[in-house]
Amino acid sequence: MIAGRRDLNYFSSRAFARLDPARGVIRSRGGARMIGVSDDFLRGFVAACEDEAGVAAPFILRRCGVFFGARLARRFESELGEFAGASVRDRSMSELDALIRDLWDGCGLGELEIEWARGASGFIPVRLKGSPMQDIGPSGHVGDDMFTGILEGFFSHFCDGELRCVQTGDARLGDREGTTFVLAPFDLAKRVEGMVAERTRHGEIVAALAA
């Protein structure tokens, strides 16, 4: 049973983060250096991007997210592979889902819900709850640009070709389905972007893509 696999809560386990007092650093079980950042740091980072880049700040945040997401995927794959002695690419879908959700939760990135079954139709809907960036963003702009990029960079790492992530809903705007995204190849993602521009709801977008 999944619940009995100790490596499926690898990131949320108390043993995951280890403080090295002599060096003043935090390391993961696998030895990777880690850093914790506060809400104030994130607000300062966003403010600095806004000050330097102006209206391009959302794009900068997204690109930072893509870079971070790709590195996070590589660390996720290598560290789990070394710990369990098996590649995450050889895992069952139920185990992979549990591991990715554990990564997001254990590292303070929020709670993910992934509709893997839609992959057969060429796209993957994702719902994110509790993003650390959900209340932090450029002035007058509502959108989780950082996590749109993180999801894009992370999931693209495990695909044959690059994916594009499009945010399709935001809990701050009162969307009943919460903060949602669709991961898809670029051509299909452009279709999603068009539907978002027409204010089509997430559920309707998913239904249209699956038709």
Most confidently predicted of 20-24, 79-83, 186-190: 186-190
- Residue 31 banded pLDDT, cuts 50, 70, 90: confident
Over residues 13-41, mean pLDDT: 84
Segment among 3-7, 57-61, 133-137 with least mean pLDDT: 3-7
pLDDT at 6 exceeding the cut of 70 = no
pLDDT band of 124, cuts 50, 70, 90: very high
HEC sequence for the chain: CHHHCHHHHCCCCCCCEEEECCCCEEEECCCCEECCCCHHHHHHHHHHHHHHHHHHHHHHHHHHHHHHHHHHHHHHHHHHHHHHCCCHHHCCHHHHHHHHHHHHHHCCCCEEEECHHHHHHCCEEEEEECCCCCCCCCCCCCCCHHHHHHHHHHHHCCCCCCCEEEEEECHHHCCCCCEEEEEECHHHHHHHHHHHHCCCCHHHHHHHHHC
Q: Which domains does the chain have, with CATH numbers?
A: 2-210 (3.30.1380.20)
Residue 123 pLDDT grade (very low, low, confident, very high; cuts 50, 70, 90)? very high
Share of the chain above pLDDT 70, in %: 94
Question: Residue 138: what pLDDT?
Answer: 66
**What was the pLDDT predicted at 5?**
60
Work out the mean pLDDT of the chain and round it to a whole number: 88
**pLDDT tens track for 128-165:** 998 888 777 666 666 789 999 999 999 999 987 889 99
